[in-house]
Structure 1
Amino acid sequence: MRTAPTILHLDMDAFYASVEQASKPSLRGKPVVVGGLGPRGVVSTASYEARVHGVHSAMAMAHARRLCPNAAYLTPRFTLYRQVSDVVMGLLHELSPLVEPLSLDEAFVDLAVGACRDRLAGLPSHAVGAEVRVVGEELRAAIRAATGLTASVGIAGSKLLAKIGSDAAKPDGLVVVESGTEDAFLGPLPVRALWGVGPATADHLRRAGIGTVAEVAEAGEAELVRLLGKAHGASLYAMATGQDDRPVVAERDVKSISVEDTFDVDLTDRARVRAEVGRLADRCVQRLRAAGRSGRTVVLKVRRYDFTTLTRSETLRAPTDDPAVVRETAGRLIEGVDTTGGVRLLGVGVAGLADFTQEDLFAQAAQGSAADPGDPEHSEDAAPATVAAPPPVRRWHPGHDVTHEEYGPGWVQGSGVGRVTVRFEVPGGEPGRVRTFAVDDPALTPSEPLPLVPGFPVPGPSATAS
């Protein structure tokens, strides 16, 4: 552990839900739940207004609806979330070159290097805590000014304590764990505050008379190893006693890019399965291009009706970001998977990422799918590699952005029985009016999200929806 609190942990408050509230005036102060809306959907994020009803992330969406039936239930808009995340991460990089993102809305920052190092240089140890508190408050104010959102910050001498500090600061707060106060800060906390302690471990410790972090430390490493096993017991004792010397690691390189969908009803029609694979391949390439990357290994994921999960992959001769190549390769891979019993989930990914492409790889894909007289897979009786997709159906997802030729920008409140309901309003404005249209109304079209606040970066034409 460092002798001064110079590791910062930032966690945006109810990130997805807060972005939705900020961009939709009619949802300010209302319960909002973001996630998969089908029967098998899971909550990604719940606003604090929804959390008071017991809704939380990873909960089944059907359960959330029972707990909070009057909430706004929205599908995610990852295009906008990534835009907001980029702004926040940019502010973190102004503090230090050592930023370790954990997700779109969470990161560690090393304040002992970069611009903050100059601010802290020469300060006596007792003054460092006060100065990093100022840094944390300035950061939170800058995030609010740039995005309209709130963030919670923890600053301490280790990553463990900084993370626990930001949890304790929620929502919209700041906690600085001063040097020498670590034991006093950790001791009273419940054991669930420590990483890796879930409900089962907490219950096991409770039965042994251990309920707080201080009681974990008092139990000693030997007793914890006896209760939980060598690896888990030793790790828990180290955390309870504040032992954490992990450095902040600059942004790690992404190993793969993928997309997947879970279907409300198992897919049994082979043509529909092929069509979904093609659609997922196109979405995957959109993400690939948005990241400025290419890849040489196409990966297919299939979860069948009985929850068995299969993965198939094919490595190309060189990296590509060509949608035709990824689509055809994924199409070949699905032909080798038996889906007659039904498909619950499909996913397409690209691994082996690179920063360059080979433009003539479409020919490679065409050669790979050409019939080989000696290959029974391409005999006349074999199923074709590609089948014409069914005519597209206009799908209007709750929460997603639309534009009407007469009424302007708005967002989908819901759809069904051939109708779609839209609320016409813009970020920073007043709650707008609701109107209903036929789902195939030619005057209504999907659109990109509008900026949250003046000066906020607007997604460009290459931005992708998820």
Structure 2
Amino acid sequence: MLAYFGVRSAAAVAGTPMLAAMACALTPLGRRTVIDDSPEAISAFLRPRPVRELPGVGGKTAALLGEYGLHTVGDVADVPQHTLQRLLGARAGRALYEHARGHDTTAVDPTPAPASLSTEHLFPRDELDPAAHRRILLALADDLGARLRATDQIATGVTCTIRYADLTATRRSRTLPEATQHTVLLARAAYTLYDSLGLQRARVRSMTLRADALQPAERATRQLTLDASDDKPLAIEAVADRARTRYGHQVIYPAALAISSRPPSARQWDRGRR
């Protein structure tokens, strides 16, 4: 890092992501730490550390544990799991019990999911018609929704970027009421962003729609409550996804995009997590 980028860094190697992260936080810049995978080496590293250095232990939890004389990781490691669960709850107590013993089931994903998905449409000529703008927003939302569902992700925000004939651009973002992967809801958010711009006879060169702050679909806290009018589009959406998986994306698309012989095309890209 120093030779290539001029940045001093620290590194740590251990048998689990948790141990490596804890060791790296203690390693001086320009140095590295290696923790052997033996139980003795793990115990020697962990037991003297303050309990607040374990993942998931904040100030309040550390203070609560301190009231019971549990100040170090070693103190916690000597306590039965059921005792920790009585203090912190079943899930948090079990996690702390495992972490204090150096156990970490976090998987290392060499190809993490992108932090955002974007899709763009470049008009063949500068477009003034608001109806054409809205059709493109629907096409972009349709593309994003299909990609989110195909990768089992949900978006918690949407960003719309409008680029004009003079190459200036306007960008608007909003956080969704609930994270979603459904085209109808992404399109609704895109229309809201577009309407907020109040464009009057604007010559639009391109439009970009981005799904932000992506999360795995299983992290959704609850099922989104939809209006009854959304039931049919969502049922059609599921059928369309199956058809596209088998025959390609262009085989089926929203009827509002059928004004021409082909639906609008879009460029796509993913933005990785930083």
Name the TM-score, length of structure 2 as normaliser: 0.48
Higher helix share: 2
Name the TM-score, length of structure 1 as normaliser: 0.30
